[in-house]
Chain A
Amino acid sequence: MVNITINGTSYEVPEGYTVLKAATEKGIHIPTLCDHPELTPYGGCRLCLVEVDGFRTPQPSCTLPVSNNMVIRTDTPAIHESRKFVLSLIFSERNHFCPYCQVSGGDCELQNSAYDEGMTYWPIQPNWKNFPVDASHPYIILEHNRCILCRRCVRACGELVGNFTLGVEERGANSILMADLGVPLGESTCVSCGTCVQVCPTGALIDRWSAYRGREEESKSQKTICTACSVGCGIEVFTRHNNIVKIYGDWDAAINKGVICEKGRFLPMVEKRERVLTPIVKQDGKPKAATWQNALEAIAAKWSKGEVAALVSDRLPAETLSFVSHLVGSDKVSVIESAGDATSGLKKPFEGKLADLKKSDCVVVVGTNLAEDHEVAGFFVKRLVPSGTSVILIDSESNPLDQVADVVLKPAKGGEAALLQLLADGKATEVAAKAAELLAKASNPVFIYGKSASELTIKAAVEAAQKFHGVVLGTRGGANSLLTAFLGMEKETQLDKAKAVLIVLADDEPSQKLIHQLEKVPFKVVLAAYHSQLSAQADVVLPVAMWAEESGTFISMDGHVQQAVASINPPEEVKSSKEAVQEIASRLGIKVNGESWKDLLKSKAVVTEIVEA
């Protein structure tokens, strides 16, 4: 700890802190533009200048480490003058005329800083240099004229996402952001995670689907979790008049610290599927809109106890999963298109946490496409690469992670387990020998397996992890796939004998395989948010909530129990999946309990330690 004095008051702060971090923690506001708590200090904008005794000139507080007996002043007339001067220079560089900008009026950190300094005009007029607008990207507009070159986006793209798409080209007043080596953003290696948009302090990077739909102060915000996959990222959903305005990563979320992917941020904004708005019952072979009561009657008429199976999405809340398992019997519920549970024969718990990746110096990825299925986990791996972490990719097919991996091993299909064993035993040859070498010198290896890993592969990974004192992580599938596996719902579906099948699809899109599988089922009840080929074939369709309309419990891939909180209300006749299943149960007189998964969790081991919020 060191003693410092800020504006005449003494404070004790940890050594290694920057002046900015110390001041912020003590509640003293220093304006910043290029600085961001989740990014490496950069010292580019000079807005955070402070006076420090012993220094001839004002110093940037974001890059200045505290030292013992440092005397700092943040609130002198000279400092305010310097801030105004810095802001004047920034305003004079490009087109910062506020009336046409989407972020003006509260969402612009540049404008807010000027207001805070009481600036009523620009002492220096703009230099009227024209910069291009890059609108080639499906979600993001890069408006160079509003860019202040703070490089937050450049750092976020590299440090947080590990993608290194954004950079800066040219020099001085000609400097502009560039994607890759100067290609339009839409044709670049951008993975559309939108982190650059979220960190941009001005309107230089805007999300075209959210633009002009409402500023933050006009919107309601709800912190919740993303249910697109099992990583369990924290998100903040901004809504206005019951519409989603934008989705941001939650900086305070322990798992993802603000980083989310295209699936969490942008895909919900471009949802074009048609909602199911009333219950639908098939009459004389034709689907007809019905009341909930009629639909429930139609279900009750065909319901024969013990002969109903259920197919559920692995993106449903724990409560709905429990309800369904009571409704049809736990042995009759399986996850849609489940590949089975390859961990059933393993001694539990054997998995670690995503946070273990932070200190990992060697990551082995097997049986998963992290760029497709659990993208944020992929970012966690990719962003380790610059600090020297080696990545070993084992995949029989091509994988986008090929680009960043130090060693890419392509065994024949099914040969992953044997290859892992060879690596662990140090008996690998040729290319694999290099992987074995990297693994042998690693002090914190992490083995990530995905849903296409076989039981043998997982076993081999567990053994290798034990040998090298490493950690195993399984990504699985949908948001609640750890729980569905635990509840025994990850199994092949036996539909031959079923007289009726309850399909709880929620907002999932049914695959052709699923539709084909259900073709011969005599009676289908589909709980869906959107119209689909499957809902068209169903005998009864009940309209249920999409992800943002439903609250409930989810357990992330590494065992964090988290609550999803509804951010918008469903349309009039639409019920949450919980309520819908409950309605069926009460019509049939079956008792259901949404909390039963909790007792089960206490009674038997899970693949990873459960972390309650």
Chain B
Amino acid sequence: MAKPKISSDWMGGCAGCHMSFLDMDERIIKLVELADLRSTPITDLKVPDESGVDVGILEGSVMNTANEEVVHRMRERCKILVALGDCAVFGGVPAMRNFFTIEETLRRGYVETESTDENGKVPDDPELCKQTRVRAVHEVVPVELHVPGCPPDPDVIFYVLSELAQGRMPELKGDKINWH
């Protein structure tokens, strides 16, 4: 039987969940024995196979139209979608901007910061993606498994991926749930 394929991608996040994934250290070899690691943002292949993968992992929240494309592409190409980390699960740190309007946050970011002045310009090139309200992945597409944590513990990530690679749905409870 062919090894299950795993792909990952990231959106509005800090890459910390992928760093935590790497923090499983030598266990990554074990994981590669169990599964076929396909595209990730930190390897050469960036886009999940058009022919589809078994497990798709998403880090980060959905905060603009570009992120929406990433989410939809992963959803279309994977059987089991995993939301990895607080941003993908809840919205996380980026979601704090939902307490303000998008105009307010852009003005703060490009005009009102300590390192910018009134000459600052909010980028408005029509080719740029559009900012949206920040959402958790499950607000945009259905998600099979939520792995919260900021970031999730490497042990938890290894547990989740090794279970999925062996065709089992991981059960997160007790010490394996952490929201911070």
Residues of A with Cβ closer than 8 Å to B?
Answer: 95, 97-101, 104-105, 111, 114-115, 118-122, 125-126, 128, 130
Contact = CB atoms under 8 A, between A and B. Distances in A.
Given A95-B99, A125-B136, A118 B173 contact: yes
A126 B96 CA distance: 11
Nearest to A118: B173
A98 B180 contact: yes
Contacts of B179: 98-99, 104, 111, 114-115
B56 interface: no
A153 B171 CA distance: 37
Contact of A97 (B83, B95, B172): B95
A111 B150 CA distance: 14
A95 B145 CA distance: 23
Contacts of B86: 97-99
Contacts of B92: 97, 99
Interface in B126-141: 135-136, 138-139
25 contacts: A95-B99, A97-B90, A97-B96, A98-B86, A98-B150, A98-B179, A98-B180, A99-B92, A99-B93, A99-B179, A105-B178, A115-B179, A118-B172, A118-B173, A119-B177, A120-B89, A120-B148, A120-B172, A121-B83, A121-B89, A121-B90, A121-B136, A121-B138, A125-B135, A130-B99
B60 interface: no
A119 B174 CA distance: 10
B48 interface: no
Contacts of B180: 98-99, 101, 104-105
B146 interface: yes
A603 to B, nearest CB: 58
Contact of B139 (A101, A105, A125): A125
B91 interface: yes
Given A97-B91, A121-B148, 15 more contacts: A95-B96, A97-B96, A98-B150, A99-B180, A105-B178, A105-B180, A115-B177, A118-B172, A120-B145, A120-B146, A120-B172, A121-B146, A125-B136, A126-B91, A126-B95
A537 B89 CA distance: 64
Contacts of A95: 96, 99
Range of interface residues on B (Cβ < 8 Å): 20 to 34
Contacts, number: 61
A222 to B, nearest CB: 27
B90 A128 contact: no
Contacts of A111: 179
Nearest to B100: A130
Interface string B146-179: 1110100000000000000000000011100111
Nearest to A115: B177
Nearest to B138: A121
B105 interface: no
Nearest to A91: B90
A119 B177 CA distance: 8
A125 B145 CA distance: 17
3 closest Cβ pairs, A-B complex: A121-B146, A120-B146, A98-B179
B116 interface: no
A101 B177 CA distance: 17
Given A95-B99, A97-B96, A122 B172 contact: no
Nearest to A106: B180
Contacts of B138: 121
A344 B95 CA distance: 69
B98 interface: yes
Given A99-B180, A105-B180, A120 B147 contact: yes
Contacts of A97: 86, 90-93, 95-96
Contacts of A114: 179
B172 A128 contact: no
A128 B99 contact: yes
Contacts of A99: 86, 92-93, 150, 179-180
B40 to A, nearest CB: 22
B155 to A, nearest CB: 16
B108 to A, nearest CB: 15
B96 to A, nearest CB: 7
A437 B95 CA distance: 64
A545 to B, nearest CB: 37
Interface string B61-87: 000000000000000000000010010
A114 B93 CA distance: 20
Interface string B95-138: 11011000000000000000000000000000000000001101
Contacts of B135: 125
Nearest to B137: A121
Contacts of B139: 125
* Best-surrounded residue of A99, A100, A101 (most CB of chain B within 10 A): A99
